[in-house]
Amino acid sequence: MGNEQMSEKLEAPIIIVNFKTYSEATGKRAVDLAKKAEKVNRETGVHIGVAPQFADLAAVTEAVDIPVFAQHVDPIKPGSYTGYVLAESVREAGAIGTLINHSERQLKLSDIDQVIRIMRENCMLSLVCANNPSISAAVASLKPDMIAIEPPELIGTGIPVSKAQPEVITGTIRLVREVNEKATILCGAGISNGEDVAAALKLGTQGVLVASSIVKAKDPYMIMTEFAEATKGRR
Amino acid sequence: MGNEQMSEKLEAPIIIVNFKTYSEATGKRAVDLAKKAEKVNRETGVHIGVAPQFADLAAVTEAVDIPVFAQHVDPIKPGSYTGYVLAESVREAGAIGTLINHSERQLKLSDIDQVIRIMRENCMLSLVCANNPSISAAVASLKPDMIAIEPPELIGTGIPVSKAQPEVITGTIRLVREVNEKATILCGAGISNGEDVAAALKLGTQGVLVASSIVKAKDPYMIMTEFAEATKGRR
Amino acid sequence: MGNEQMSEKLEAPIIIVNFKTYSEATGKRAVDLAKKAEKVNRETGVHIGVAPQFADLAAVTEAVDIPVFAQHVDPIKPGSYTGYVLAESVREAGAIGTLINHSERQLKLSDIDQVIRIMRENCMLSLVCANNPSISAAVASLKPDMIAIEPPELIGTGIPVSKAQPEVITGTIRLVREVNEKATILCGAGISNGEDVAAALKLGTQGVLVASSIVKAKDPYMIMTEFAEATKGRR
Amino acid sequence: MGNEQMSEKLEAPIIIVNFKTYSEATGKRAVDLAKKAEKVNRETGVHIGVAPQFADLAAVTEAVDIPVFAQHVDPIKPGSYTGYVLAESVREAGAIGTLINHSERQLKLSDIDQVIRIMRENCMLSLVCANNPSISAAVASLKPDMIAIEPPELIGTGIPVSKAQPEVITGTIRLVREVNEKATILCGAGISNGEDVAAALKLGTQGVLVASSIVKAKDPYMIMTEFAEATKGRR
């Protein structure tokens, strides 16, 4: 499936599952998990994307027909960069975009800017993570396609979105919108169950970026179904 | 093919081709180039390995039956390391080892040590690059399976191995052997043609690590054949 | 002199001289150069600040009565951070602020944010460098005290400010002002002589951040005087 | 005092106190602590060195007549390296050497090698930290003047040297001596009291590298005196 068609598949609300480097989502198990995501997508109609490890990208994109993201891309063009991640290589492996600046893989400011540009040149989507309100606003100025906001109140304290002060989310959204009207805003923290997903959307985000609550679940298919159904309340 | 069988295939002399992030060796072109390497291996009997980008590993290992290396692996265990390269993921993609500390992707000393240990735990091969004699000796103390020595005289000045002072290579080999009798020693710089390959082996290395002289060649198949034939002079 | 008084001394227009790690501005020569800057300040009334190396900060601040900046501060609090630069240590050495994210010492986005916060907590000034318009806007969202804009057109091509398209500077200033009305904006590239200084101020910046044009000059005192006089045209 | 004379003052046994970025050893308190170290040196005759932060180096070296080390130096020559630490600058500030690769400030292997060379060119001492036996041997190949071994058994578990298996220390010393007969070997972990100091020396090290046990002590003068006296048992 071409990148253009994939992008069309990314209308909100969207759930993106970050596979991290979890054993439960490495190699064959990455493919298995992606197939479950695809099944939930087919059954619920809700858009679900996955972000497997680099070496698993090709097998995953071959096995499923849902949007696949890389977890990181380096700010490089083709050349002598042994051991780095080239946009063209993940695109050829079938990814339609990449996470950028995940809190576990933070980048220099100028590199975030550079990777966003490279994604654009390659007709790929950029999803930049930002772990506080002022950083979210800074990221928004760089005009990525998507921003995952991770309010520190939701990370540090373990408070779920559904129990948090609404301003924690709405304030960040407002800051982002002041400089960027178009970027899709995802909630990237505090999501453990369907109630949290519904709360995140109700507060104004267009989706969620999740990891362990799905990947480490006893029954990821069931949890993804719960998350997907929860997005429907607002439609 | 299992890793054990692959390792057996790695008897010296060996030629390893680093695909870097060259356009000429990305995506489908990585598979094409690997197939040419396999053809040369079949025709000459000389062991040829390839080191494609992460996202190309699975397609390459599926297409060919020669040893495939990753270009880098991070010093991590399965867990929350979004955007990093897990040994288990490149192993599941079919790689039998990895380059470590390439001059374009240098690591902290303790990370080199850690990646070598992780490779060993995963029954994979560690090939550490070292860009001067004292660094080569330091690396040898860490007991990797293979060391690619890159004498600065051969990098900085563009002098090919076949024209260099023999001591440039033999001195480094002696330093390595003082602390490590077993590691396979490759020559990682100064190799442009068959004459250089023959000279590197004559001086005591067990193979070569090459990149642009193959990948950027008009006819990589022809150059790989030349390199492979050149290794036979010493047998 | 207390930090509060120093800050008052920083009214625009201001010239800040980055000593980098130039031999000409290391150790005793850093003190000598700072004394010349102070002399120019006394004679012209124009505010001139200097940014010497860490180990030279104390000697410079003891010798002169002009604003002194560190070249970098790490995003750390007191604790176990051997080899890192603590805000409190450079403050005690007499610095009133620090450069942040200089193009030669770029930081992760979240670290820029963190260092700005730490500076504020220590009642010190943050001067963040930004090397293109969108990065300048991103930096502005983080609310630093000062921003040094470095339009790539002025770096890449060697075009001086006085000969550049005015939009190169004014466009960046406008982007910054959309999200930050207060920060002092310096021109951080393309300044070689008094004409460039005058042009930078005329286009709307409040000063300049310079390095080699002063430090490497045959007669730094003369060039600093030229720069200082050039700022007066607009008053 | 010139560097040459300082080096002579560094005969074993030696105690080196790393000030880290502790509040208790920043600014004026760095000078106070160094003066106490000097007092203990005068009273006991035992060599005590200190490693304050960069910005405190000049004030400390002016105040005391004992060996002063930087905590880190960057692998650079004079030039355009804003925010980095130049060997020449810490030397002019009076330091006679530097810690390298402290576990809190680890370097790339080639950078360790480069900083050791730069120290040698500046007639300064290199003290490289190594946090396991194979890394200690690797470091020894690079020919630094001093090596601080930090057996992981002593870090991870909190076991003091005096209670540890003797082989933990002696095994590492043997590995180091196989490739380097001259380097001064310090014990860089597991030292909390005089008994530990005596044990470290008895096992074959020539001194200790300590931090919190001195800097965070209620009475650093008393503890340094205890450490100094403990070194005398073996003479």
**pLDDT tens by residue, C75-115:** 999 999 999 999 999 999 999 999 999 999 999 999 999 99
8 Å CB contact of B72 and A83: yes
**Cis-peptide, bond into residue A78, ω within 30° of zero:** no
Yes or no: say if B51 and B71 are a contact pair by the CB < 8 Å rule.
yes
pLDDT of residue B234: 47
Which residue does chain C place closest to A116, by CA atoms? C134
The single residue listed with the structure tokens 């490289």 is D128
pLDDT, tens digit (0-9, with 9 covering 90-100), for B176-201: 999 999 999 999 988 999 999 999 99
Q: Is the pLDDT of residue D6 over 70?
A: no
8 Å CB contact of A106 and C110: yes
Which of these is catalytic: B8, B38, B47, B102?
Answer: B102
B165 is written with which tokens? 């002072």
In angstroms, the CA D112 to CA D131 distance is 14
Chains D and B touch (3+ CB pairs under 8 A): yes
User: Which of D57, D104, D211 comes nearest C83 by C-beta?
Assistant: D104
pLDDT, tens digit (0-9, with 9 covering 90-100), for D153-194: 887 677 888 888 888 899 999 999 999 999 999 999 889 999
Mean pLDDT of C21-43: 98
pLDDT of residue B64: 98
8 Å CB contact of D141 and B143: no
Q: Is the pLDDT of residue A190 over 50?
A: yes
In angstroms, the CA D182 to CA D146 distance is 9
pLDDT of residue B8: 56
φ, ψ at C99 (rounded to 5°) = -70, 150
List the subunits that have 3+ CB pairs under 8 angstroms with A: B, C
Which residue does chain C place closest to A178, by CA atoms? C179
In angstroms, the CA A117 to CA A137 distance is 18
Higher pLDDT, D69 or B160: D69
Mean pLDDT, rounded, of chain A: 93
Q: At what angle do helices B109-121 and D133-141 cross, to 10 degrees?
A: 130
CB contacts of B95 in chain A (<8 Å) are 55
The single residue listed with the structure tokens 């760089």 is A142
CB contacts of D106 in chain B (<8 Å) are 108-111
CB contacts of C106 in chain A (<8 Å) are 108-111
Q: B64: helix, coil or strand?
A: coil
- Quickly count: other Cβ atoms within 10 Å of residue A47's Cβ: 19
Amino acid making up residue D205? T
List the subunits that have 3+ CB pairs under 8 angstroms with C: A, D
Q: B187: helix, coil or strand?
A: strand
8 Å CB contact of B90 and A55: yes
Q: Is the pLDDT of residue D5 over 80?
A: no
Alpha-carbon gap: A101 to the closest alpha carbon of chain B (Å): 9
Alpha-carbon gap: D101 to the closest alpha carbon of chain B (Å): 9
In angstroms, the CA B135 to CA B109 distance is 10
Mean pLDDT of B29-40: 98
From residue A57, give the alpha-carbon distance in Å to each of A27, A29, A61, D202. Answer: 9, 12, 6, 56
C146 is written with which tokens? 């000062």
Q: D11: helix, coil or strand?
A: coil
The single residue listed with the structure tokens 């009334």 is C45
CB contacts of D130 in chain B (<8 Å) are 109
Please, which pLDDT band fits residue C9 given cuts at 50, 70 and 90?
Answer: low
Mean pLDDT of A110-137: 96
B94 is written with which tokens? 């079919």
pLDDT of residue C204: 94
**Preferred mutation among B3, B89, B126, B210 to probe A, highest tally of A CBs within 10 A:** B89
User: Which of C109, C134, C137 comes nearest A135 by C-beta?
Assistant: C109
For this structure, is B72 an active site residue?
A: no
Pick the closest to residue C185 from A187, B19, C171 (CA basis). C171
8 Å CB contact of C92 and D57: no
8 Å CB contact of A110 and C110: no
Mean pLDDT of A144-170: 86
Yes or no: say if A21 and B76 are a contact pair by the CB < 8 Å rule.
yes
pLDDT of residue D152: 80
Pick the closest to residue C174 from C140, C209, C208, C130 (CA basis). C140
CB contacts of A71 in chain B (<8 Å) are 82-83
Q: Is the pLDDT of residue B11 over 90?
A: no
pLDDT, tens digit (0-9, with 9 covering 90-100), for C130-147: 989 999 999 999 999 999
In angstroms, the CA D209 to CA C67 distance is 37
pLDDT of residue A163: 86
Q: Which residues lie below 8 Å from residue D106, measured CB to CB, with a gap of 6+?
A: B108, B109, B110, B111
8 Å CB contact of B80 and A54: no
In angstroms, the CA B134 to CA B139 distance is 9
CB contacts of A81 in chain B (<8 Å) are 20-21, 104-105
In this structure, of A32-41, B210-219, C3-12, the range with the lowest mean pLDDT score is C3-12
**What are the start-end ranges of the H helices in C96-219?**
109-121, 133-141, 152-156, 166-179, 194-202, 212-215
Which residue does chain A place closest to C100, by CA atoms? A109
For CA atoms C196, C197, C201, C206, give the dihedral sign.
positive
B59 is written with which tokens? 């397609």
Which of these is catalytic: A4, A24, A38, A102?
Answer: A102
**How does DSSP classify residue D180?**
-
In angstroms, the CA A100 to CA A109 distance is 11
Q: Which residues lie below 8 Å from residue B36, measured CB to CB, with a gap of 6+?
A: B220, B221, B224
Q: Which residues of A sit within 8 Å Cβ distance of C?
A: 101, 106-113, 130-132, 134-135, 137-143, 175, 178-179
**Preferred mutation among C86, C155, C210 to probe D, highest tally of D CBs within 10 A:** C86
> What are the residues facing A68 on neighbouring strands?
A50
User: Which of B112, B134, B141 comes nearest D137 by C-beta?
Assistant: B141
CB contacts of B18 in chain A (<8 Å) are 82
Mean pLDDT, rounded, of chain D: 93
- Cα A38 to chain centroid, rounded: 16
User: Which of A21, A23, A90 comes nearest B55 by C-beta?
Assistant: A90
Yes or no: say if D182 and D176 are a contact pair by the CB < 8 Å rule.
no
8 Å CB contact of D134 and B142: yes
CB contacts of D137 in chain B (<8 Å) are 141, 179
Q: Which residues of A sit within 8 Å Cβ distance of B?
A: 18, 20-23, 26-28, 51, 53-59, 70-72, 76, 78-86, 88-90, 92-93, 95, 99, 102-105, 211-212
Pick the closest to residue C187 from C227, C222, C226 (CA basis). C227
In this structure, of A167-171, C195-199, C216-220, the range with the lowest mean pLDDT score is A167-171
Q: Is the pLDDT of residue D2 over 50?
A: no
List the subunits that have 3+ CB pairs under 8 angstroms with B: A, D
**Cis-peptide, bond into residue A13, ω within 30° of zero:** yes
In this structure, of B94-108, B128-142, C209-223, D149-163, the range with the lowest mean pLDDT score is D149-163
In angstroms, the CA A100 to CA A116 distance is 8
CB contacts of C59 in chain D (<8 Å) are 58, 93
User: Which of D113, D130, D178 comes nearest B134 by C-beta?
Assistant: D113
Q: Is the pLDDT of residue D32 over 80?
A: yes
Q: B103: helix, coil or strand?
A: coil
pLDDT of residue B153: 80
User: Which of A108, A137, A141 comes nearest C107 by C-beta?
Assistant: A108
